[in-house]
Amino acid sequence: MNGSDEDPAGFLRREPDLKELLHHPDVAEAVANGGYRALRRALRQLAGDHQVAGALLGSEFLFLREGGPPFDLLSVNGLGFQILTWPSSRVVGYHKGFVYFAILFVPILPIGVYLVTTEGGRYYFFGKQVFSRLPLIFLGIWVVVLMAAVVYQHW
- 76 beta partners: 79
pLDDT at 23: 92
Rounded to 5 degrees, what angle do the CA atoms 26, 31, 36 make? Answer: 90
Mark out the alpha helices in the chain (DSSP H runs). 11-14, 25-33, 36-46, 51-57, 134-154
Please check whether residues 27 and 39 belong to one and the same domain: yes
Please check whether residues 37 and 84 belong to one and the same domain: no
Number of domain units in the chain: 2
- 33 is in which domain, residue-wise? 4-62
The arithmetic mean of pLDDT across residues 13-39, rounded, is 90
pLDDT at 66: 82
Please check whether residues 57 and 74 belong to one and the same domain: no
Please check whether residues 38 and 72 belong to one and the same domain: no
Question: How far from 30 is each of 13, 58, 67, 89, 90, CA to CA, in Å?
Answer: 15, 17, 21, 27, 24
Please check whether residues 58 and 88 belong to one and the same domain: no
**How far is the C-alpha of 53 from the C-alpha of 56, rounded, in Å?**
5
Per-residue pLDDT tens over the stretch 87-125: 887 777 888 888 989 999 988 888 888 989 888 888 888
Write down the pTM of the prediction: 0.72
Please check whether residues 82 and 47 belong to one and the same domain: no
Question: Binning pLDDT at 50, 70 and 90, where does residue 1 land?
Answer: very low
Q: Are 125 and 67 a contacting pair, CB within 8 Å?
A: yes
2-6, 26-30, 82-86, range with the lowest pLDDT = 2-6
- 113 beta partners: 98
Average pLDDT, the chain: 85
**How far is the C-alpha of 127 from the C-alpha of 121, rounded, in Å?**
19
Query: In the predicted model, is pLDDT for residue 3 greater than 50?
Result: no
Per-residue pLDDT tens over the stretch 47-58: 888 888 888 888
Please check whether residues 115 and 44 belong to one and the same domain: no
Please check whether residues 72 and 58 belong to one and the same domain: no
Please check whether residues 116 and 70 belong to one and the same domain: yes
Question: Binning pLDDT at 50, 70 and 90, where does residue 25 land?
Answer: very high
